[in-house]
Amino acid sequence: MALLDILEYPDGFLSKPVLPVTGITGELQQKIDDMAQTMYHAPGVGLAASQVGLNQCILVYDVSPRDENRALHVLINPRIVCQEGEILSEGEGCLSVPDYRSDVIRYSQIRVEGCDRDGKLLVFDAEGYLAIVLQHEIDHLQGVLFIDRISVLKRNLYKKRIKKRLRQS
């Protein structure tokens, strides 16, 4: 397994939708393992393939408490097929948007469809924190960052801060 580099805003790759996975291969399994290791090392609770420069529709997540046994989940070609309700994701952050957190309105309940790492079809309901994590990671696969879901004013303030930091480096 290898640690992958996590792309950070304003990298243009993060704003592009990824391609669907068309076959489960040994190479794909290795990418999944590398993504999982990268997510745990970061540390994060979710990681989309686009965040590590992979143009494939894959995400990994683990919302179990850090001091308990890990419960890695993999979704290939995930999509939200139903959503309802509203929840405030307070102080949402992202490995690709470092040093910034903001409140984001998300659906409180979603139904997700996708495949596991072996290609088996999964359809399940998620609510609360899990629903937030899955919406965040599926957004990544569609080229959407959480800062795209906040007010224009807050987004522009963050962009100015990043431009200033990039000029100074």
Q: Report the CATH number that the domain containing residue 92 is assigned in CATH.
A: 3.90.45.10
3-state secondary structure of 169: coil
Give residues with Cβ within 8 angstroms of 36, minimum separation 6: 1, 47, 60, 62, 72, 74
Which residues are marked as active site? 137
pLDDT, residue 169, reads 79
Residue 1 lies in a domain: no
- Cα(140)–Cα(54) distance, integer angstroms: 12
Residue 107 lies in a domain: yes
Residue 142 lies in a domain: yes
pLDDT, residue 149, reads 97
Residue 7 lies in a domain: no
Predicted TM-score of the model (pTM): 0.95
- Cα(16)–Cα(55) distance, integer angstroms: 9
pLDDT, residue 65, reads 81
Are residues 91 and 106 in contact, defined by beta-carbon separation less than 8 angstroms? no
Residue 125 lies in a domain: yes
Residue 130 lies in a domain: yes
Range name among 42-56, 73-87, 150-164 with the lowest pLDDT average = 150-164
Tokens 């999509």, residue?
Answer: 79
Give residues with Cβ within 8 angstroms of 76, minimum separation 6: 21, 24, 57, 58, 114, 115, 116, 117, 119
Beta strand pairing call for 109-115 and 73-84: antiparallel
Tell me what percent of the residues of the chain surpass a pLDDT of 70: 99
Does position 166 have pLDDT exceeding 90, yes or no?
no
Residue 134's domain comprises 12-168
pLDDT, the chain, mean: 96
Tell me what percent of the residues of the chain surpass a pLDDT of 90: 92
Does position 68 have pLDDT exceeding 80, yes or no?
no
Say how many domains are in the chain. 1
Residue 108 lies in a domain: yes
